[in-house]
Structure 1
Amino acid sequence: MSLCVFSSTVVTINSAATSRFLALSTWDASQGSDTSPRGDRREVARILDGRTLAIPDRKGNKCADSLHNLLQDERLSFAALVPGRSGVLHVRGRGTITDDPALLETMALGGMPPHLALIVDVEHAEVTGSDAVRRSRLWTPGVHLDRGTAPDMMALGGEMDRAYRYGLRKEGYDEVETRAVGPSRRPSNRA
């Protein structure tokens, strides 16, 4: 098993290399915070070296709050989950934004590179056992809710979703689809 040392904390490289989901937290100049979910079809954070990670920022994320915040305050943190595991990777560091085509090309999905990437200079990282993940049985299929059991969050947020899509089209994203959002529609899979 490969090991990576971040600020005297030994972290298995497999934690970052196998996580497909993380919650990224950033702060603006007035100390307001934003937590943004990030997910990908393969690892969500690419390991560049023993202290540096790259996180793709794809068009599907719709909001640029994290990017906006990083322009004001470079501090960030995230918690990453690995499917089937109860440990949580906690990372704290400083972030910058890059549009380096060579790096972005290495993170392409379906031939489409992300438009930007976050470069994370890791100051601290650790994997901790999480009783909350274990108790929630997050990875146990038998306890997952049926679609009709809970309110459809996409239907509840339909108006907001339409406003986001309008904003994206206005910014020139021509791949934005317009569709009805409601309880009978399944949300599309987004990258």
Structure 2
Amino acid sequence: MTELSPTERAMIDTGMVGRLREQRISTLDEIHAINGVPKESTRTKDTPFLTPLMAEFIARSPFFLIATANADGSCDISPKGDPPGAVRVLDARTLAIPDRLGNRRIDGFQNILTNPHVGLIFLIPNDDETLRVNGRAFITTHPELLASMAIDGRAPKLATIVEVDEAYMHCARAFLRAGLWKPETWPDPETVPTSAAIVSEQRALPPPDESAGKRREPYRATLY
């Protein structure tokens, strides 16, 4: 972890964490006493494989998140997007995920090499329910599989294979609370801080040129 500068340390209320820890929950029984216990139908809704309807859900999903952790437990989560059907359901226990162009940090790959456990959540636009999949992953260079995943004539160089341990649907409450698919709740994208602006802030650089049409320009040029 990068050491904080004196200025950054001054922005953090170290005493606050200590005060919050005084009311820390430390046992599952304490949580159940506050939240109650799940219904039997909720507790047993997961399956150790993908049902046909789950496979259809994945085939319609253009976006998902994948969570990984290294051998020490440090976590990472990464968004992934492609046209629907890009994530392949090879069989009821196996998914194949193409690796597209990115920033080459490969945080997730580094984690998978030391800890294969992954968690995925699949989204479909304008649908408030999501599909969660947990399993164990490895990275492959299988040529036929990679060739079959080409887009615009460009095949991925790597793919992640996920062996499914459990899968289940997640309820719609989070999306309904957020109003995620309601355009009237969306902020003006021109007012949202971009990664370029945040990096400039981190490095004490002048603000980047983000005039009309330039905010997403570098990404659009390197999708595949």
TM-score normalised by the chain length of structure 1: 0.78
- 39, 48, 54: which one aligns with 1:7: 48
Paired with 2:116 and 2:208, the residues of 1 have a C-alpha distance of 36
1:183 aligns with 2:216: no
Paired with 2:100 and 2:75, the residues of 1 have a C-alpha distance of 21
1:113 aligns with 2:142: no
Give 1:94-113 correspondences, 5 Å limit. Answer: 94-113=136-155
Paired with 2:200 and 2:88, the residues of 1 have a C-alpha distance of 33
**What's the CA shift for 1:140?**
2.0
Paired with 1:182 and 1:135, the residues of 2 have a C-alpha distance of 35
**Would the alpha carbon gap of residues 54 and 86 (structure 1) be closer, same or farther in structure 2, given more than 3 Å must change?**
same
Residues 65 and 77, structure 2, Cα contact 8 Å, conserved in 1: yes
Paired with 2:157 and 2:208, the residues of 1 have a C-alpha distance of 27
Residues 86 and 130, structure 1, Cα contact 8 Å, conserved in 2: yes
Give 4+ residue runs of structure 1 displaced > 4 Å after superposition. Answer: 8-11
Which fold has the larger relative contact order, with Cα–Cα distance below 8 Å and residues 6 or more apart in sequence?
Answer: 1
The percentage of aligned residue pairs carrying the same residue is 35
Residues 49 and 93, structure 2, Cα contact 8 Å, conserved in 1: no
Give 1:123-162 correspondences, 5 Å limit. Answer: 123-157=165-199
Q: Structure 1 stretches of 5 or more lacking a match?
A: 161-179
- 59, 65, 77: which one aligns with 2:119: 77
Residues 58 and 122, structure 2, Cα contact 8 Å, conserved in 1: yes
Per the alignment, residue 102 of structure 2 pairs with 60
**What's the CA shift for 1:146?**
1.4
Residues 59 and 85, structure 2, Cα contact 8 Å, conserved in 1: yes
Cα RMSD after superposing both structures: 2.3
What is the SS of the residue equivalent to 2:184? helix
- 60, 69, 72: which one aligns with 1:27: 69
- Structure having the higher Rg: 2
Letter in 2 for 1:97: I
Paired with 1:92 and 1:107, the residues of 2 have a C-alpha distance of 23
Residues 86 and 149, structure 2, Cα contact 8 Å, conserved in 1: no
Residues 21 and 44, structure 1, Cα contact 8 Å, conserved in 2: no
**Would the alpha carbon gap of residues 61 and 44 (structure 1) be closer, same or farther in structure 2, given more than 3 Å must change?**
farther
**Would the alpha carbon gap of residues 147 and 9 (structure 1) be closer, same or farther in structure 2, given more than 3 Å must change?**
closer
CA-to-partner distance for each residue in 1:54-75, whole Å, 9 max, x for gaps?
A: 0111122532111111110111
**What's the CA shift for 1:42?**
3.0
More helix by share: 2
Q: How many residues align?
A: 168
